Amino acid sequence: MNVTLRVWRQKNSKTPGRFVEYQAKNIIPDMSFLEMLDVVNEDLIARGEEPIAFDSDCREGICGKCSAVVNGVPHGGHRGTTVCQLHMRHFKDGDRIVIEPWRATAFPVIKDLVVDRSAFDRIIQASGFISVSTGQAPEANSISIPRVVAERAMDAAACIGCGACVAACKNASAMLFVAAKNAHLGLLPQGQAERYRRAFTLVKAMDEAGFGSCTNTNSCEAVCPKEISVEFIARLNRDYAVALLRGSGREAASSAD
């Protein structure tokens, strides 16, 4: 099949970008979306044009590197699917496909479809962890965790840090990403000691990184390739409120460690 692509091309963060149209010919339905782009790129190089820069690595939906807004929807709008796992069998001959980068102030474009997502790392650096150093761990089975709790924590921990939630949000909020981390660690007994302080610091780091605030439109959940639930956002709000009540916020804000 043949499709027409409108792709965002942008040389670097300083140069303004624009859409450029390309024809993708002889596309096989079993190809993945990124394999289709590979084919287009091989063509472009043969014609002496620079290939489209786009991110990908595992191509299995787990590393979180691929990121493209396809026809207005981050990752292309198939439930629980990253764009690397999207296949051309979902498109028809003659389709027009618009491909853009994640758009958010906190994720500046590096080139074409590639954006800088280091803001997520800065959030984790602030408090997205349990403070335990190598060698300090007790025997693993001395911490008993009910299966339902472990599974719930795993639901949150499944986040791949791709940033689709931010790209989908009209406020470019990172609330789902932050809430998932907060729930992953805060649901587990190991994470209780720092629970409220963590919630407070995570939200603070998110604000500082330039993400917008959450107005509960739930568009993040709809595009999340790991189907992370907005219920975790409610949990984060509760933890954050407790932190404020208990003054954990002040404690967190004043301590460096």
Partner 1 sequence: MKLDPKIPSGPLQQKWERYRLEMKLVNPANKRKFDVIVVGSGLAGASAAASLAELGYNVKCFCFHDSPRRAHSIAAQGGINAAKNYQNDGDSIYRLFYDTIKGGDFRAREANVYRLAQVSVNIIDQCVAQGVPFAREYGGALANRSFGGAQVSRTFYARGQTGQQLLIGAYQALQRQVGLGRCQMLPMTEMLDLVVIDGQARGIVTRNLATGEIASHAADAVVLATGGYGNVFYLSTNAKTCNVTATFRAFKRGAAFANPCYTQIHPTCIPVSGDYQSKLTLMSESLRNDGRVWVPKSKEDTRPPNQIPEADRDYYLERKYPSYGNLAPRDIASRAAKEVCDEGRGVGPGGKGVYLDFAHAIGRLGEKEIRERYGNLFEMYERITGEDGYKTPMRIYPAVHYTMGGTWVDYNLMSTLDGLFVIGEANFSDHGANRLGASALMQGLADGYFVLPNTLGNYFASSKQSKISHSHSEFRKTEDEVKARLQRLLSIRGRRTVNSFHRELGKLMWDKCGMARNEKGLSEALQRIPALRQEFWENVNVLGEGGELNQSLEHAGRLADFLEFAELLCLDALTRAESCGGHFREEFQTEDGEALRSDERFAFVSAWEYQGPDTRPVLHKEPLVYEEVKMTQRSYK
Neighbours of 147 (CB within 10 A): 7
Closer by beta carbon to partner 1, 116 or else 245:
116
Q: Which stretch binds partner 1 (CB under 8 A): 118-126, 164-172, 208-216, 247-255?
A: 118-126
Strand residue runs (E) in the chain: 3-9, 18-24, 69-70, 73-74, 96-100, 109-111, 114-115
Q: Minimum Å distance from CB 66 to ligand FES?
A: 3
Closer by beta carbon to partner 1, 58 or else 217:
58
Give the CA count within 13 Å in the CB-facing half-sphere of 27.
28
Distance CA 8, CA 22 (A): 11
DSSP state of 107: S
The values of phi and psi at residue 220, to 5°, are -60, -50
Q: Considering CB distances under 5 to 8 angstroms, the limit depending on partner class, which of ligand FES, partner 1, none binds residue 161?
A: partner 1
Site for partner 1 in 214-233 (CB under 8 A): none
Site for partner 1 in 50-89 (CB under 8 A): 50-51, 53, 55-65, 80-81, 85, 87, 89
Site for ligand FES in 38-97 (CB under 6 A): 56-59, 61-66, 82, 84
The answer to the question of residue 125 lying near partner 1 (CB under 8 A) is: yes
For residue 6, give the nearest of 96, 67, 95 by alpha carbon.
Answer: 96
Residue ranges that bind ligand FES, judged by CB under 6 A: 56-59, 61-66, 82, 84
